[in-house]
A and B are shown apart, each in its own frame.
Chain A
Amino acid sequence: MKKTILIADDSESVREVVSFTLENAGYNVLSSVDGEDAMKHLNGLDIHLVVTDLHMPKMDGISLIREIRSSEHYKGVPILFLTTESQNSKKEEAKIAGATGWIVKPFMADKLLSAVQKVIR
């Protein structure tokens, strides 16, 4: 069965690249523009991985991670967040909030896939 990945990023081009890469690698991809939008997808669907940006309007990545970790159904879903090297404090914060791992921007397809395959197969 194809695994489903939910991505949350306010930047359309990042969303497109990520979903293009993941779809080509054989995953189902759902897109959302921010945390609030992402939560709308988490309503009972099979989601095997969440990939989220940290800086987003409305609900940011950290809050999204917390929301997911505190939900009954999805608390065990792996969550990867997108970050830039410079933000070590943010990385800590996201880890504490419950993120599984991270992908450092800028990334190429192989980097993204290897990170994803660390947490889902």
Chain B
Amino acid sequence: MDLFKVKFLNEAADLINNLEESVLSLENNREDGALIEQIFRVMHTFKGNSNMFGFDKIGEFTHHLETIYDLVRAKKILLSQEIVNITLFSVDHIKNLLKEDKEQNGEVLAMHTHLLSAIKEIIGKFDENKIEHTVTNLTDLTGGKMNTFHISFQPNKDILIRGNNIFYLLDDLLALGEGKAFPKIGNLPGAHEADFTSCYLEWDIFLATSESESTIKEVFMFVEGECELKITCISKDCNSFKEDKFFKEASGFTLFSNNSVVENLLKQANEKASMPADAKLSSKTVLSNKEASNIKVSSDKLDELMSLVSELVTTQARLSQFSEESKNTELNVIAENIEKISRRLRDNTFNICLVPIGSMHTRFKRLVRDLGNELNKEVNFKVEGAETELDKTIVENLTDPLLHIIRNSMDHGIEKAEDRIKSGKPANGSILLRAYNSGANVHIEIIDDGAGLDPEKIKHKALEKSLINEEDKLSKKEIFDLIFLPGFSTAETVTGISGRGVGMDVVSRNIKDLRGDIVVESTLGEGTKITIILPLTLSIIDGLLVKIEHTHFIIPLSAVEKCYEVKHEVFENNFKELIILDGEQYPYLYLRDEFNLKNNTPTIEQVIVVKNNDKQIGISVDSIVGEYQAVLKPLGKLYRSVQTISGATILGDGSVALVMDINQMIKQHSIQYKELAYEK
């Protein structure tokens, strides 16, 4: 059963999400009958499944919740705000109950009792409901002792139409003890008038059994409404039945042997009705008839696939390098083909691992709703581009940062309704989450129409906390970036929601861990836009393989703009670390200096112009090897503090190439040579 339990839990998570989303939509559209119907159905399924897989508590809980929606469905009670609130609390509670270890937790138990009583109170207001409860069957007291029953069974003519088989039924009955069934054929018409789908027989059954009357009735459970059934206890023991005398007493019934013509007739009729005449197709057709549909795959399997593809790509790189060195044309062709195929395989696998951002949608909606209530602010939350896809690992790690940003917007950004009206804004605030693809990146914007960030206030705060110096000249953007520093918090009073100063720096670190970037734009009085820029995937990137002395480096291809050849003396005789390429000035980073490689300087060097956001810089390397698919491996603990290197990859010959973090390089460069930062 445990195997199924896992399935159940997965499914339960889906159902609960579905429920939560439906309830949230229902809140804004309370008359929507289809939605109520859907909620009821989800609860119903959920109740049934929980009971079946041993989650009795959830089953019982959902049963009461379902009753409410049954009443709402039948328009017997009105869907009040109270009900919506209780439902949402219940959703949270059920989530807790699903985690079995939490089930015994005192807090959860208290919540359980509290919610249950609240739910019952709502139901209790509606008296009629109380009648609906099923009355427990009173078992009669004849069980345990041998009794002989006479059962008169008169099926309706159409009893066979619903697929019941009377012979199975009689078999079951006689299996309860010792007995005999005597058919009455009085109603049987002539062969030419008989309708093979009708039942013309009636039975008298004598049964000696230790079972109770209710057990006998149970045999007839499915045909209860389709026959006349009389069960009488004719003797308190079974002896009279076994004696011939009994049969004599029972004379007047026609005796038929088991293989009688009538039985065959009926059997045939029944089989004919239950089996299509020309049904001879093999089960293979079933498979081909099935439409292509989605399947669920556990994420472990996907991770495994992903890591296998990574290994394949690494091995393929070795093959390519080997074939190039071997100068064997045939091998070259094969290696090239494998490269092509592995690239496609890689892209396909990426695609499989992508999930739409919309999958987080419900959580955000719920947060905005709950916080809105708590802070007494009405906020409309909208999502654009919910279908935009990202690697599932990124999406998983993105939820918390996004939740935090939205929380900040709700708490600090959006003003109170009266303040909003004073400044000529609509009373309801709005938060927009917009996601879209841009090259090899995905942009996610959180835009609110709140008060916006006040650069003066931020600067003041930063000075107070000595994060900056008085003489620092900061652009507006740099001031906004200060909010990502550890220990920075502008909230005047610390609320339970935000303002503890541990927020935005964690957000920015999380985003950095995903190799992403975060940008703040804000206009005082009009609102704030926070843009998160993320790579599509984390594990393999297209890169430019370059060489400085004997060390290989990888520059992500998405950052590369142009490459130039430059004579070494240009670097020695330049002014203010600027280089002129194609008539334009670029600040540059001389990597030989950066990485402390001072020997064997080549006379001609390469400058690669890289771009991040709106900044471009040139970086110098000895030579460019070519394009390269790099499987990213994290650097060990010791090197985690090296910011300009985001990881490493293994080359075809087994040596290691370091992957540059262009974003960080540009940032560090502009800090070092602030006045030179070349903004475009």
Chain B residues near A53 (CB-CB < 8 A): 45
If A13-B11, A86-B134, A118-B172 touch, whether A101 touches B222 (CB-CB below 8 Å) is yes
Q: B120 an interface residue at 8 Å Cβ cutoff?
A: no
Majority secondary structure of chain B interface residues (helix, strand, loop or mixed): helix
Q: A113 an interface residue at 8 Å Cβ cutoff?
A: no
Chain B residues near A40 (CB-CB < 8 A): 289-290
* Contact B286 A119, beta carbon cutoff 8 Å: no
A118 to chain B, nearest CB (A): 6
In the bound complex, how far is the Cα of B291 from the Cα of A40, in angstroms?
A: 10
B288 to chain A, nearest CB (A): 11
Chain B residues near A119 (CB-CB < 8 A): 163-165, 168, 222
Q: B169 an interface residue at 8 Å Cβ cutoff?
A: yes
12 contacts between A and B (CB under 8 A): A13-B8, A14-B48, A17-B52, A30-B286, A41-B286, A76-B163, A76-B272, A78-B274, A79-B163, A86-B132, A95-B225, A99-B162
Chain A residues near B63 (CB-CB < 8 A): 86
Which partner residue on chain B sits nearest A84 by CB separation?
Answer: B48
Partner of B275, one of A10, A16, A76, A86: A76
B553 to chain A, nearest CB (A): 49
In the bound complex, how far is the Cα of B59 from the Cα of A14, in angstroms?
A: 15
* Contact A13 B44, beta carbon cutoff 8 Å: no
In the bound complex, how far is the Cα of B35 from the Cα of A86, in angstroms?
A: 22
Which partner residue on chain B sits nearest A17 by CB separation?
Answer: B4
* Contact A11 B49, beta carbon cutoff 8 Å: yes
* Contact B163 A100, beta carbon cutoff 8 Å: yes
Which partner residue on chain A sits nearest B55 by CB separation?
Answer: A106
* Contact A44 B286, beta carbon cutoff 8 Å: no
In the bound complex, how far is the Cα of B589 from the Cα of A22, in angstroms?
A: 70
- Of residues 5 through 40 on chain A, the ones whose CB sits less than 8 Å from some CB of chain B are 10-14, 16-17, 20, 28, 30, 40
Q: B197 an interface residue at 8 Å Cβ cutoff?
A: yes
4 cross-chain pairs, A with B, having the tightest CB-CB distances, nearest first: A76-B273, A78-B163, A101-B222, A73-B276
Chain B residues near A20 (CB-CB < 8 A): 4
Interface residues of B, Cβ cutoff 8 Å to A: 4, 7-8, 11, 41, 44-45, 47-49, 51-53, 59, 63, 132, 134, 160-165, 168-169, 172, 197, 221-222, 225, 270, 272-281, 283, 285-286, 289-290
Partner of A78, one of B7, B132, B164, B272: B164
In the bound complex, how far is the Cα of B8 from the Cα of A13, in angstroms?
A: 5
Chain A residues near B134 (CB-CB < 8 A): 85-86, 88
Which partner residue on chain A sits nearest B66 by CB separation?
Answer: A86
In the bound complex, how far is the Cα of B131 from the Cα of A48, in angstroms?
A: 39
In the bound complex, how far is the Cα of B162 from the Cα of A69, in angstroms?
A: 8
A57 to chain B, nearest CB (A): 8
Chain B residues near A101 (CB-CB < 8 A): 164, 221-222
* Contact B279 A55, beta carbon cutoff 8 Å: no
* Contact A73 B279, beta carbon cutoff 8 Å: yes
Chain A residues near B225 (CB-CB < 8 A): 95
In the bound complex, how far is the Cα of B43 from the Cα of A84, in angstroms?
A: 12
Partner of A98, one of B52, B161, B270, B275: B161
